[in-house]
Amino acid sequence: MGNPQSGDRVRLTASTPEGAVTHEGILLAPAASGHITVKLDNGYNVTFAETEVSDISLLGAAELVEEKLDSGPPEDPSLPEICILHTGGTIASKVDYVTGAVAARFEPEELLDAVPELAKHARIRTKKLGNMWSDDIRARHWNAMMVAAKEAFDSGAVGVVITHGTDTMHYSAAAAAFAWSGGGGRPPGRIVFTGSQRSSDRGSTDGTENLIAAVHWAAHGPAPTGENGDTSVIIMHAGNDDGVCAILPGCSTRKFHSSRRDAFQGINAQPLGTISVGRGGECEIHTDAQAATREIATEPIEFDESKRILQLVAGSHMYADQIALASNYDAILFHGTGLGHLPIEDPNGDSPENVAMRQAVTDYCANGGVAVMTTQCIHGPIHMDVYSKGREQQDLGVLGNHATTGPDAALVKLHFLLSTGQDVQSGWDANLCGENTSSIFN
């Protein structure tokens, strides 16, 4: 097969159930031992077992290319200043074709060199907070994002764009909403979270349009009210096609799909609007803005990084000994079935586990434990008045009845209430920043 190295351009022939196939592309470090991986010209990778490859020939050796960045388009002093905070993800990245890895590309000149259309919308400042997988983000990172946002606002930025891995972006967006508006205020400027579902080396990447739309909103969107879900927003593709990005409330949104470009959808809430993105990077905002009445918050409220919340999912594998784990936590968030239910009854007399569950919940709440109910159903309210089981759970001390806060924002809200020392019952009943609207009952 010769001795091509990672980064070389090769032609590969391999056997498949449909017959022999031939591919050309860049040889990458193998995806697994005993395999060969090639990045095709369309951006996708193909991997074959070495035993399936009948021929691999060298077409061209890897070249070391010194990347020379242009200075980018000149800055327009008449445009507003915005700050882009990078936490991770593939939205601002380039591919190392020797290793196959995606590396961050985030200096201002690099961003403008890669996406020169940004210069049409704002004067860009950047700060790199990290390059993390989003599933590794903790409350300390939420706090760091909001400290950096405050610094940006204090230095004159009218908006902040936070580039973020998509898997947990909705948690961080909810944290920003509570940090700035959970105390009754509103942020000094616009806060936007955005990311990319498709990596930058693929023809179907969505990152460029998402970033352009996010920068446009941060620079030119309406002032946030702090009370209708607009304290922080998520801006991502509205559909699988190019040209329109959705503006979603940061405290009422979830990632619903692992790979679609329109993965993010509102929970018990409609989009705040859309942004049309033209082929030349021009943007137009479509939204019904409300007038802001809240006072501007001077700084965000920090999350107590020591608070720990135990999340338990109701179902056939929920047991009483799981409640015992709560002694190491500050609260339990139950992800109940339907309107908010737990397996605590044994009508057939054949499931003593349910009886034990009921007793465990009883003891936990009676000893001062905080237990809050959310739903696995995503959309819809918690309604523990409808069935006798729900009313019994309330008698045991389970909180959360009538809430419309989505299950992900519920976790963040509970953390916020614990951090600020508020009464969880009254705080849960309140609509702090648009997370707990009653409109779905109408």
Give residue-wise pLDDT tens across range 378-402. Answer: 999 999 999 999 999 999 999 999 9
Question: What is the distance between the alpha carbons of residues 87 and 101, in angstroms, rounded to a whole number?
Answer: 17
- The sheet that has 309-313: what strands, in order across it? 309-313, 331-336, 371-375
SS3 (DSSP) at 215? helix
Q: 């409609």: which residue's tokens?
A: 270
Tell me: pLDDT of 103 over 70: no
Rounded to the nearest 10°, the torsion over CA 132, 138, 142, 148 is -50
| Percent over 70 (pLDDT), the chain | 88
Handedness of CA 61, 65, 211, 411 (dihedral sign): positive
State the average pLDDT over residues 340-357.
Answer: 97
User: How many of the other CB atoms lie within 10 Å of CB of 65?
Assistant: 6
pLDDT of the residue at 8 = 87
DSSP 370: -
Question: What is the distance between the alpha carbons of residues 89 and 367, in angstroms, rounded to a whole number?
Answer: 43
Q: How does the average pLDDT of the chain come out, rounded?
A: 90
Is 293 part of a structural domain of the chain?
no
Is 185 part of a structural domain of the chain?
yes
pLDDT of the residue at 442 = 43
Statement to judge: residues 145 and 276 lie in one domain = yes
State the average pLDDT over residues 286-305.
Answer: 95
Name the helix (H) or strand (E) containing 7: none
Phi-psi region of 178 (alpha: psi -120 to 50; beta: other; left: phi over 0): alpha
Q: Which residue has the higher pLDDT, 102 or 187?
A: 187
Per-residue pLDDT band for 132 (boundaries 50, 70, 90) equals: confident
Distant-in-sequence, close-in-space partners of 392: CB < 8 Å, separation ≥ 6: 344
Statement to judge: residues 96 and 237 lie in one domain = yes
* Cα separations in angstroms, 303 against 58, 212, 251, 306, 400: 55, 30, 16, 9, 21
Residue 331, both tokens: 């609260």
Tell me: pLDDT of 340 over 50: yes
Residue 414, both tokens: 């509970």
The CATH number of the domain where 321 resides is what?
3.40.50.40
Is 67 part of a structural domain of the chain?
no
The CATH number of the domain where 282 resides is what?
3.40.50.1170
Report which of 253, 290, 286 is spatially closest to residue 268, judged by C-alpha positions: 253
150-157 contact pairs (CB < 8 A, 24+): 150/188, 150/299, 150/300, 152/83, 152/85, 152/125, 152/127, 153/187, 153/188, 153/189, 155/83, 155/125, 156/81, 157/81, 157/82, 157/83, 157/125, 157/189
State the average pLDDT over residues 88-111.
Answer: 59
Statement to judge: residues 263 and 123 lie in one domain = yes
Q: Work out how many domains the chain is built from and give that number.
A: 3
Angle (CA) 78-81-83 rounded to 5° is 160
Is 410 part of a structural domain of the chain?
yes
Is 304 part of a structural domain of the chain?
no
Q: 């919340």: which residue's tokens?
A: 309
Distant-in-sequence, close-in-space partners of 327: CB < 8 Å, separation ≥ 6: none
The CATH number of the domain where 48 resides is what?
2.30.30.520
Q: 């449909």: which residue's tokens?
A: 18
Is 397 part of a structural domain of the chain?
yes
DSSP 172: H
Question: What is the distance between the alpha carbons of residues 178 and 307, in angstroms, rounded to a whole number?
Answer: 16
pLDDT of the residue at 55 = 92
Statement to judge: residues 313 and 380 lie in one domain = yes
**Which residue numbers are catalytic?**
90, 166-167, 255
Give residue-wise pLDDT tens across range 222-266. Answer: 999 999 999 999 999 999 888 999 999 999 999 999 988 899 999
Tell me: pLDDT of 313 over 70: yes
Distant-in-sequence, close-in-space partners of 22: CB < 8 Å, separation ≥ 6: 11, 12, 13
Residue 7, both tokens: 């980064």
Report which of 312, 245, 234 is spatially closest to residue 269, judged by C-alpha positions: 234
State the average pLDDT over residues 325-333.
Answer: 96
Handedness of CA 79, 84, 89, 90 (dihedral sign): positive
Domain boundaries, position 46: 9-60
Is 24 part of a structural domain of the chain?
yes
Distant-in-sequence, close-in-space partners of 232: CB < 8 Å, separation ≥ 6: 173, 174, 176, 177, 180, 187, 191, 192, 193, 250, 251
Statement to judge: residues 314 and 275 lie in one domain = no
Is 343 part of a structural domain of the chain?
yes
Statement to judge: residues 203 and 322 lie in one domain = no
SS3 (DSSP) at 157? coil
Per-residue pLDDT band for 435 (boundaries 50, 70, 90) equals: very high
Statement to judge: residues 342 and 244 lie in one domain = no
DSSP per-residue string spanning 51-99: GGEEEEEEEE------------SPP-TTSPEEEEEE-SSSSSEEE-TTT
Statement to judge: residues 36 and 125 lie in one domain = no
